Chains A and B, each alone.
Chain A
Amino acid sequence: MSDGWRLTAVIREALANLAASGARAGVLLVGLGGLVGALTWAELSFASDVKEQARRFDMAGGRVAVVDGPNGLDAAFCEELSWKPYVVAAGGWREGGQVIAASSPGVFFERWVVTGDIVRVWDPRFESRTDAGYIAGLAAAGELGLADGGWLTLAGESSAPVTVADLAPRNQFAARRILDPVAPTGRLAQCWVEFSPEAFEAGLLWLPAHFAPDEAAARRAVSRGEFGVDPLDMLAGRPQRWGWLPVGAVGAAMLSLMALFRRSETAVYRAFGVRLRGLLIMHQIEAIVLVLGSLIISSAWAMAVHSVTTGLPDLDQVWLALRTAAMAAAVIVILGPLGALLAGTGSPATLLKER
């Protein structure tokens, strides 16, 4: 360094000051750790709530659009959607008349003719489409004593294997229906489309055009009234996302205040040739050590508490919380040495007389 002080000497001096002032460093570690830890914990908790909300939202069909039109829809257009990259699943149905199971004469069930992917839209636990046999909703299967993989014989028809699915969470009317998968030809009453989360809003707007020239209208399968706000919007709009600003400001104020208490020490360094730049580096090194220490300790604490009280956070939650905490830490490191700079620009002659 041109002022005589080598950079290594400045860094060693900063570390030695920290090591020599264990109590001060400890107080700052606890103070900064409390601030950063609280922020981390708040983020983890909120993300956890949102994650649960998002799970319920998705299970209820939060990203599912229902398309219908006055003259029905072309089944091929609906089927085509199921191969789009931003579509999780897409399938449609039309009424297929009333049927009677051979095992329960006198009890009528509605048969819906469907395209094979509809079972993945109505029951998200299904990972593949069902193009053969029948699909029975839980209510229908219960009444008929059907088990998944069993066989169903409809009056006047041959027996076929049955897939039992819980269709009610997304379409309660389907719970007592016998679904009959067919090739995607002809017309459908409705087409149901589940989008990937980021594509849903745009997809909802785009769907009517996809079915042109059919006159089609698309709506959400789950009304907003039921969930209020999309969990993704909740996450993006959470107030904690700005928490790094006040936490960073308070943390920086703590460091600055502590530096002001050390102004006679600052004056000694100035009198012995440390320039303002060196002083800034010295205090920034101290800030980095303290902030990193508090970030590691408090984040580990917040995650441990969260794991015990709420459950192990997943990587997304940890990333979200650490990103906010790291931003607060960056503010503290950048603004924390301002107090030292302020003291350093004061008259050393005056500061040296202060204890």
Chain B
Amino acid sequence: MPLSLTGVTHRYGDQPPVLIGIDLEVGADETVAIVGASGSGKTTLLSILGGLLRPTEGDVLLDGMLVGREELPPGSLSWVFQTINLLGRRTALENVALGLHAVGFAPGEVSVAATAMLEAVGLGGMEEQVAMRLSGGQAQRVGIARALVGRPRYVLADEPTGQLDRSTSEIVAEVLFSARPAGTTVVAATHDPLIAGRCRRTYTIVDGRLRAER
């Protein structure tokens, strides 16, 4: 069963709706980009997809469960944030381990799996680096490792290169898609062609409505 939005409309308070009547279906092993101008509602749409925000109208379903209202099974969804949001005083390894704890990994296996994931995103040897001392690109790669390490069905990436320069963005974009486990779908809200260009499907939000580009 795919992750699906049906008739989703969302408004903040008395403001005009940011999203209007959105229908979207995302299946397994896909890569989907949601693009649009700043303030167009990309992050709002992603937050609704991931259950961090309840839509004013409409439903989000995953395996017949209402996302954001029912507890999804562990490993259903994971996140890459624009603001990265690592635990600053914890090590890179400990931050990646969050993604494993989320799916109930046995404590003895966490360290090995997290180390392997850090290797996969090109940060081998940086396991004990404190997150607040990492560069922006390194931190976002840790964020991607954290999101992917538990092999979630869906990774929701909100402007994953939004705070990075061009060359670092290329590395991060490469890592996000190359380290993606088989079967994991990435839905990225982005205005970065580096990310959008790597997705099989692209949608644009214009005036609150979703338009398929390809």
The contact of B85 among A3, A267, A347, by CB within 8 Å, is A267
Q: Mark B143-165, 1 if CB is under 8 A from A, else 0.
A: 00010000000000000000000
Q: Which of B83, B87, B99, B102 lies in contact with A353, CB distance below 8 A? A: B83
**Across the interface, do A265 and B87 meet the contact criterion of CB distance under 8 Å?**
yes
Hey, which chain B residues are within 8 Å of A265, CB to CB? Answer: 87
Binary interface profile of B, 60-72, with partner A (CB < 8 Å = 1, else 0)? Answer: 0000000000010
A109 is an interface residue with CB less than 8 A from chain B: no
Residues of A within 8 A of B85 (CB): 264, 267-268, 352
Asked if residues B90 and A20 are in contact (CB atoms below 8 Å), the reply is yes
Kindly state whether residue B104 has any CB partner on chain A within 8 Å: yes
| CB pair A9 B90 closer than 8 Å | no
Task: Out of A4, A8, A348, name the residue touching B52 (CB < 8 Å).
Answer: A348
B89 & A5 in contact (Cβ 8 Å cutoff): no
Q: Within 8 Å CB of B103, what residues of A? A: 4, 273
Query: Does B101 have its Cβ within 8 Å of any Cβ on chain A?
Result: yes
A4 to B99, CA, bound (A): 10
Chain B hits for A1, CB < 8 A = 104
* Total contacts A-B at CB 8 Å: 72
Contact yes or no, B98 A347, CB < 8 A: no
- Chain A, Cβ-Cβ closest to B73: A4
B53 lies within 8 A of A4 (CB): no
Interchain residue pairs with CB less than 8 A apart (23)? A3-B71, A3-B74, A4-B74, A4-B75, A4-B102, A4-B103, A5-B101, A5-B102, A5-B104, A8-B107, A20-B87, A264-B83, A268-B86, A269-B98, A271-B81, A272-B99, A272-B146, A348-B52, A349-B44, A349-B53, A352-B81, A352-B83, A353-B83
Inter-chain contact A17/B90, CB cutoff 8 Å: yes
In the complex, which residues 14-47 of chain B have their Cβ closer than 8 Å to any Cβ of chain A?
43-44, 47
B101 and A268 form a contact (CB under 8 A): no
Chain B's closest residue to A270 (CB) is B52
> Assuming A4-B74, A5-B101, is B53 touching A20 (CB within 8 A)?
no
> Are A355 and B83 in contact (CB-based, < 8 A)?
yes
Q: Which residues of A contact B99 (CB under 8 A)?
A: 272
Known: A13-B101, A17-B90, A20-B90. A6 touches B78 (CB 8 A): no
Contact A268 B98, CB 8 Å, known A3-B71, A347-B52, A352-B81: yes
Q: Does B59 contact A (CB under 8 A)?
A: no
Contact A4 B87 (CB under 8 A): no
A-side interface residues, number (CB < 8 Å): 30
User: Scoring A residues 6 to 36 as 1 if CB is less than 8 Å from chain B, else 0, what string do you get?
Assistant: 1011001100110011000000000000000
B94 at the interface (CB under 8 A from A): yes
B residues less than 8 Å from A272 (CB atoms): 78-79, 98-99, 101-102, 146
Would you give the shortest CB distance from A23 to chain B, in whole angstroms?
A: 9
User: For residue A2, which residues in chain B have a CB less than 8 angstroms away from its CB?
Assistant: 71
Closest residue of B by beta carbon distance from A6: B104
Contact of A4 among B43, B47, B89, B104 (CB under 8 A): B104
Residues on A with C-beta less than 8 A from B107 are 6, 8-9, 12
Chain A residues engaging chain B, CB cutoff 8 angstroms: 1-6, 8-9, 12-13, 16-17, 20-21, 264-265, 267-269, 271-275, 347-349, 352-353, 355
**How many Å from the CB of A55 to the closest CB on chain B?**
54
- The CA-CA distance from A227 to B172 in the complex, in Å, is 80
Q: How far is the CA of A196 from the CA of B114 in the complex (A)?
A: 69
A residues near B98, Cβ cutoff 8 Å: 268-269, 272
> Which residues of the partner chain B approach A267 to less than 8 Å between Cβ atoms?
85
**Minimum C-beta distance from A287 to chain B (A):** 18
Residue of B nearest to A262 (CB): B87
A4 and B44 CA atoms in complex are apart in Å by: 26
What 6 additional pairs, Cβ within 8 angstroms, besides A13-B101, A272-B101, A347-B53? Answer: A4-B103, A5-B101, A264-B83, A268-B86, A272-B98, A273-B103
B183 to chain A, nearest CB (A): 18
Closest to B44 in A: A349
Nearest CB of chain A from residue B12's CB, rounded to whole Å: 10
Contact with A along B86-115 (1 / 0, CB 8 A): 110110001000110111100100000000
Q: How far is the CA of A12 from the CA of B50 in the complex (A)?
A: 27
Residues on the B chain within 8 Å of A273, using CB: 74, 101-103
Distance in Å from the Cβ of B164 to the closest Cβ of chain A?
A: 17
Closest residue to A269 on the B side, CB-wise?
B98
Provide the bound-state CA to CA distance between A6 and B122, in Å: 29
Specify which of A265, A269, A272 lies most central, judged by the most chain B CB atoms within 10 Å of its CB. Answer: A272
A74 CB to nearest B CB, Å: 80
A4 touches B101 (CB 8 A): yes
B47 touches A9 (CB 8 A): no
